[in-house]
Amino acid sequence: MSKNNLCQPVLVSACLLGLPTRYDGKAKRSQAVIDYLQREKLMPVPVCPEQLAGMTTPRAKTAFHSGDGHDVVHGVGSVVSEIGQPMNDVFRRGAQLALQVARLCGCQRALLKERSPSCGVHRIYRGNEQVPGAGVTAALLIEAGIEIISEEDL
């Protein structure tokens, strides 16, 4: 089999593939994502950074209190659960584990769920307001040289 016939691995937010990994225990299956992966002959490597970090599903909704994912990665932003619990350490751990999965599987690209505090590519929530910014995992993947897009980029 030639190399051109092999599927390239791509890290994908598990909820976009139909897995019930979101904070509310639901999925956000995207047919556009499924079609894109098939059309581009990409092998999805499903991840949920929050589950990788040991969070339960369902779990408390989380949003940025200050900054965005890049700021949290560098220790200056903050992610807080809806019940006021600081979540920086958990989100950084999930991001590190997602990066480890990407490296183990040879992923050079990631397709992530927009507006997620972990996976947001272009937009996140700061409190209840949608603002420009990246999630914690998205930020770490960018800094590691992994190309990222969201389902809304397709």
Give the chain's domain count.
1
pLDDT tens-digit map of 101-117: 999 999 999 999 999 99
Confidence of residue 2 (pLDDT cuts 50, 70, 90): very low
pLDDT number for residue 5: 52
Stated pTM of the model: 0.95
Q: Which domain holds residue 9?
A: 3-153
* Predicted confidence (pLDDT) at residue 4 exceeds the cutoff of 60: no
Q: Report strand pairing: 78-81 vs 62-66.
A: antiparallel
pLDDT tens-digit map of 71-102: 999 999 999 999 999 999 999 999 999 999 99
The span from the CA of 97 to the CA of 101, in Å, is 6
Q: Which residue has the tokens 């200050």?
A: 66
